Amino acid sequence: MFRPPYLQSGDKVALVSPAGAIDCIYIEQAVNTLRSWDLQPVVGENALAVHGYFAGNDEQRIHDMQWAMDDEDIRAIFCTRGGYGSMRIVEQLDYSIFQGNPKWLVGFSDITVFHSKLNTLGIESLHAPMPKSFGNTTPDALARLRDFLFGQVTSYHLPPHPFNQEGIVEAELTGGNLTLLHCVRSTTLECKHQTPVLFIEDVGENLYSIDRMLQSLKLAGKFEHLHGLIVGSFSEMKGNNFGRTAEEIIHDLLKDYAYPVCFGFPAGHIAENYPLIMGTTIELAVTAEGTDIHFTND
């Protein structure tokens, strides 16, 4: 996998909206944050457009994403928010120039679609906070995002979790939002590596839906050949009458597998949304003392 060049002071970065519509206040806050990092944010022409639920129609969102990918002066792409919309445009973009001049793509939630696409192209990307969530993200998580972008990639150490499964592996990290991973299964966007360490998170789903998606992926053999699993936040879950939490559902499903599993990684639709480099090789060590995650090709 190819890692895009790290950012330097004064670099231009794009803010684009490939999914849901966003209020200007979030763009303004993000611009101020990025300027405080000594970056030059450039807001896409249609970043604040509105077309029903979407940030402009498909053509407008394609226009901004294509510009951000192709402009040689843009060194990173910040997707302003998730929601829904990325899947409608992801395969209508031309990635030929981007492949010759890769740059960091930053986002989570619906942006999982683009992380999956870049994985098929052999390019790493950042699962990390977006402009809409900057104001609700902890200072530590935002600082870690800035550090990662500027080349100060650090390891993670997490405390033990009662559902963890111990083990040590080295494999490629893939994944993102569970609902989107379920949606891209068996499409051109699905991860090309069948033995990765998989990261999953989700928000606002019914617990029976979480169980249904996981059971569907299990029946498709998606958990059988994993090297490991990292479980992020499953926040604002609905349907508590299901009788089990999302973490309990995942734990029960994984009892038949022997690979290491880390629960409680601080990433997802929460304030402690720490960055993960998707597509890179990681060392995942889950022991009785806790979990260590190291990005090996830094």
Positions annotated as catalytic residues are: 109, 201, 269
User: What is the DSSP pairing of strand 290-295 with strand 281-287?
Assistant: antiparallel
Q: In angstroms, rounded to a whole number, what is the distance separating the alpha carbons of residues 4 and 150?
A: 11
Classify residue 180 as exposed, middle or buried by CB count within 10 Å of its CB (0-12, 13-18, 19+).
buried
DSSP alpha helices (H): ranges in the chain? 24-36, 58-70, 86-89, 96-100, 112-121, 131-134, 139-149, 178-184, 207-219, 246-253
Q: In angstroms, rounded to a whole number, what is the distance separating the alpha carbons of residues 265 and 45?
A: 36
CB 177 within 8 A of CB 198: no
Locate 89 and state its tokens. 């445009």
Q: Which residues contact 106 (CB under 8 A, 6 or more apart)?
A: 76, 77, 78, 79, 125, 126, 128, 129, 130, 145, 149
In this structure, the dihedral spanned by the alpha carbons of residues 242, 109, 141 and 297, taken in order and rounded to 10 degrees, is 110
Q: In angstroms, rounded to a whole number, what is the distance separating the alpha carbons of residues 183 and 189?
A: 10
User: What is the DSSP pairing of strand 156-158 with strand 167-177?
Assistant: unpaired
